[in-house]
């Protein structure tokens, strides 16, 4: 029940902090371990967490969905998206990766037209176009310092946008059901793949893998609780706080700071996204 916006905003900021920390741990692990190995441990811990949340209900009831095939598709897409994001973190600083991925909310707005039948007017289309200008400022294609690795988080952003569209499609399912589908399918698929890529972790590796699963699960739980306390329109602007936390983690852990182009592009993208959500809230989802 959405009844405490302030609590929801606090939880949203906690979630963004935890998810940025999770990405910092992931970046450290990605230097030594494969994507399937990292995700297998992460999703096994996440699966235990999801089962604990669903415990008050029977598992049969928890898995009962109005859209089982869409739930499966959504879960597989988020698996690929997370894998792509890990590869991006292997090649790019945290802040740069999140700055490019910040285009995802604008992609959701654009994709909602053909897939959800939503109407988007001139002002929000303009915000989307300006957001893509911000993206070009960051990746700077066609000049000598262009880094092709910048395209990796862009692919991840597109997958994340499709995932969110599917989340809206299955919105009439219980939140615990959606969480359980994602956790169980992720654990099953990655556990099946992991033995082919497994590298025995040392003590530090096991500690980091365990921390990844715990921090990631807590981050997703805080996100879920935030949306139970406040509306999406109230919370969405605070999702860009992850850029601040990712920059802080990148600097203090890896010594990375974004350049002026990344900062400028990220500011353009975030401003465009916030304006698009503002228009959506003002017009109540009507053409704006």
Average confidence score pLDDT of the chain: 86
Residue 193 lies in a domain: yes
Grade residue 141 by pLDDT with cuts at 50, 70 and 90: low
Question: What mean pLDDT comes out for the span 7-29?
Answer: 92
Q: How many domains does the chain have?
A: 1
User: Does residue 288 belong to any structural domain of this protein?
Assistant: no
> Does residue 253 fall inside a structural domain?
yes
Q: Is residue 226 part of a domain?
A: yes
**pLDDT of 150:** 85
**Could you read off the pLDDT of 197-253 as tens digits, one per residue?**
999 999 999 999 999 999 998 988 888 788 778 766 667 778 888 888 999 999 999
Nearest to residue 250, comparing CAs of 18, 92, 94? 94
pLDDT at residue 90 greater than cutoff 50: yes
Residue 139 pLDDT exceeds 70: yes
Please, which pLDDT band fits residue 287 given cuts at 50, 70 and 90?
very low
Please check whether residue 119 lies inside any domain of the structure: yes
pLDDT at 284: 60
Q: Tell me whether residue 82 is in a domain.
A: yes
Q: How far apart are CA 148 and CA 130, in angstroms?
A: 22
Percent of the chain predicted with pLDDT > 70: 92
Q: What are 32-50's pLDDT values in tens digits?
A: 999 999 999 999 999 998 8
Q: Reduce the secondary structure of the chain to three states and give it as a string.
A: CCCCHHHHHHHHHHHHHHHHHHHHHHHHHHCCCCHHHHHHHHHHHHHHHHHHHHCCCCHHHHCCCCCHHHHHHHHHHHHHHHHHHHHHHHHCCHHHHHHHHCCHHHHHHHHHHHHHCCCCCHHHHHHHHHHHHHHHHHHCCCCCCCCHHHHHHHHHHHHHHHHHHHHHHCCCCCHHHHHHHHHHHHHHHHHHHHHHCCCCCCHHHHHHHHHHHHHHHHHHHHHHHHHHHCCHHHHHHHHHHHHHHHHHHHHHHHCCCCCHHHHHHHHHHHHHHHHHHHHHHHHCCCCC
Q: What is the pTM of this model?
A: 0.85
| 191 occurs within a structural domain | yes
Q: What is the pLDDT of residue 38?
A: 96
Domain that includes residue 80, residue range:
5-283
């Amino acid at each position: 029940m959405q009844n405490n916006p302030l609590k929801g905003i606090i939880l949203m900021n906690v979630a963004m902090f935890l998810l940025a920390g999770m990405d910092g741990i992931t970046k450290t692990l990605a230097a030594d371990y494969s994507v399937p190995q990292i995700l297998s441990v992460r999703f096994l811990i996440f699966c235990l967490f999801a089962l604990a949340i669903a415990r008050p209900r029977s598992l049969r009831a928890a898995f009962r969905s109005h859209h089982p095939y869409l739930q499966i598709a959504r879960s597989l897409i988020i698996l690929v998206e997370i894998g792509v994001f890990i590869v991006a973190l292997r090649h790019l600083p945290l802040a740069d990766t999140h700055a490019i991925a910040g285009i995802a909310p604008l992609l959701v707005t654009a994709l909602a037209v053909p897939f959800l039948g939503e109407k988007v007017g001139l002002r929000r289309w303009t915000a989307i176009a300006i957001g893509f200008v911000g993206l070009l400022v960051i990746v700077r294609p066609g000049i000598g310092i262009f880094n092709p690795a910048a395209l990796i988080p862009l692919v991840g952003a597109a997958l994340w946008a499709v995932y969110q569209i599917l989340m809206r499609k299955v919105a009439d399912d219980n939140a615990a059901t959606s969480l359980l589908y994602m956790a169980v399918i992720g654990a099953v698929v990655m556990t099946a793949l992991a033995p082919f890529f497994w590298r025995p972790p040392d003590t530090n590796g096991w500690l980091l893998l365990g921390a990844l699963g715990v921090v990631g699960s807590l981050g997703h739980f805080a996100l879920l609780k935030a949306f139970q306390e406040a509306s999406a329109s109230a919370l969405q602007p605070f999702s860009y706080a992850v850029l601040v936390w990712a920059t802080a983690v990148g600097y203090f852990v890896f010594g990375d700071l974004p350049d002026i182009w990344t900062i400028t592009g990220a500011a353009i993208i975030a401003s465009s996204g916030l304006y698009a959500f503002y228009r959506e809230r003002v017009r109540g989802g009507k053409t704006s």
